[in-house]
Amino acid sequence: MTIFSKVFGLQGAAVFASMVAYLTAQFIDVKIFHFWKRLTKREKIFGSQ
């Protein structure tokens, strides 16, 4: 096993794990946003009212 493969061997797994973490965070963010929107019964949550 070369040094190159030791250093970059897990790159694919790291990219995949990063994408899973990002998509999970985005999904949770959208769920929380819609929860607060329903709870407050507002058309706009942020910005001018």
**DSSP annotation of 30:** H
pTM of the model: 0.67
pLDDT of 28: 98
Give the pLDDT confidence of 10-36 residue by residue, as tens digits. 888 899 999 999 999 999 999 998 998
* 13-35 exposure pattern, b = at least 16 Cβ within 10 A, e = fewer: eeeeeeeeeeeeeeeeeeeeeee
Name which residue leads in pLDDT, 40 or 19: 19
pLDDT value at residue 8? 80
Asked whether the predicted pLDDT for residue 49 surpasses 60, the reply is no
pLDDT at 3: 85
